[in-house]
Amino acid sequence: DVKVTQSSRYLVKRTGEKVFLECVQDMDHENMFWYRQDPGLGLRLIYFSYDVKMKEKGDIPEGYSVSREKKERFSLILESASTNQTSMYLCASRAGSSYEQYFGPGTRLTVT
Amino acid sequence: EDQVTQSPEALRLQEGESSSLNCSYTVSGLRGLFWYRQDPGKGPEFLFTLYSAGEEKEKERLKATLTKKESFLHITAPKPEDSATYLCAVIDSWGKLQFGAGTQVVVTP
């Protein structure tokens, strides 16, 4: 079974803090993704990566950056957290030969 | 513009009362349609992939079907444990997954 894990289930940060969200997958997948999910807006793609050290902007990259130094690990960075970044953050991965994405359990981030 | 629309937004069913969820899409050259189940506070769980019109997939009480314009997720004789939000997604023109807003299903005993 594909396993995608995220570093925290719940996180509370203050405005202006730098926040790191980590995601690890154990299936040697080439592609990894970060989404945020908000009520009424559904899942929106923030960034994705199709290889180590490669990254592409998704639909809402502003205020975020990412890092992929190893194939199994994809980090999302909030440079200076703001209250409008309070959300559920979901990481996903997929193999290069498939479009099926597998999701982690999510991190509920609250910025106060 | 690629778009995915799910209906209804919410569905309340009695245990055993079968029903269907709809996912309509506009995307040029469909490369895949996906159904996910999401429980509150958790990540989406992959259910099915459909690739071409006429294709059907089944898993326990769930059956997904696909036409050229839409997909249906049929829930047969649902149980309370089928309560969840069901998400539909398609591969858009850029090769990215585009999600619908989901249908929240509540099954009461």
What pLDDT digit, counting tens, does each position of B52-102 carry?
999 999 999 999 999 989 999 999 999 999 999 999 999 877 778 899 999
Is A43–B42 a contact, with Cβ atoms under 8 angstroms apart?
no
Residue A96 confidence (pLDDT) above 90: no
Minimal Cα distance from B50: which residue of A? Answer: A100
Name the residue with higher pLDDT: B29 or B99.
B99
Residue B29 is inside which H or E element, if any?
Answer: none
Q: Which amino acid is at B13?
A: L
Report the alpha-carbon distance of residue B12 to residue B27 in Å, rounded.
30
Residues of B contacting chain A (CB within 8 angstroms):
31-32, 34, 36, 41-46, 49, 87, 91, 95-97, 99-102
pLDDT beyond 90 at A98? no
Confidence of residue A16 (pLDDT cuts 50, 70, 90): very high
Chain A positions touching B87 (Cβ under 8 A) are: 42-43
List all residues 6 or more positions away from B61 whose beta carbon is below 8 Å from its beta carbon.
B75, B76, B77, B78, B79, B82
Average pLDDT over chain B, rounded to an integer? 93
**CA A52 to each of CA A24, A47, A68, B9: distance values in angstroms, whole numbers, following the listed order:** 13, 14, 5, 38
Percent of chain B with pLDDT over 90: 80
- Give contacts of B96 with chain A, Cβ < 8 Å: 45, 48, 58
Q: For chain A, what is the largest distance between any 2 Cα atoms, rounded to a whole number of angstroms?
A: 41
Q: Which amino acid is at A60?
A: I
B34-44 mean pLDDT: 95
Residues 9-28 of chain A whose Cβ lies under 8 A from any Cβ of chain B: none
Tell me: the pLDDT tens digits for A31-88?
A: 999 999 998 888 999 999 999 999 999 999 999 999 999 999 999 999 999 999 999 9
Q: What's the whole-number mean pLDDT along residues A93-102?
A: 87
Is the per-residue pLDDT at A2 higher than 70?
Answer: no
User: Is A103's pLDDT higher than 80?
Assistant: yes
Report residue A54 as tokens.
């490669």
Give bridge partners of residue A57 from the DSSP assignment.
Answer: A47
More reliable by pLDDT, B55 or B31: B55
At A111, list the tokens.
């910025």
- From A40's Cα to the closest Cα of chain B, the distance in A is 7
Distance between alpha carbon A70 and the CA centroid of its chain, in Å?
Answer: 15
Chain B residues whose CB is inside 8 A of the A23 CB are none
A-to-B residue pairs, Cβ atoms closer than 8 angstroms:
46
Q: Do A100 and B34 touch (CB under 8 A)?
A: yes
pLDDT at B31: 84
Which two structure tokens, joined as six digits, stand for B3? 């778009």
Q: What is the CA radius of gyration of chain A?
A: 13
Question: Distance from B44 to chain A by nearest Cα, in Å?
Answer: 6
The answer to whether residue B1 scores a pLDDT higher than 80 is no
HEC string of chain A? CCCEEECCCEEEECCCCCEEEEEEECCCCCEEEEEEEECCCEEEEEEEECCCCCCEECCCCCCEEEEEEECCEEEEEECCCCHHHCEEEEEEEECCCCCCCEECCCEEEEEC
* Residues across chain B: 109
How far is A84 from A15, CA to CA, in rounded Å? 10
A105–B45 CB contact, under 8 Å:
no
A45 with B97: Cβ contact below 8 A: yes
Q: Is the pLDDT reported for residue B2 higher than 80?
A: no
CB B6 within 8 A of CB B21: yes
**Pairwise pLDDT comparison (A70 vs B3), residue with the higher score:** A70
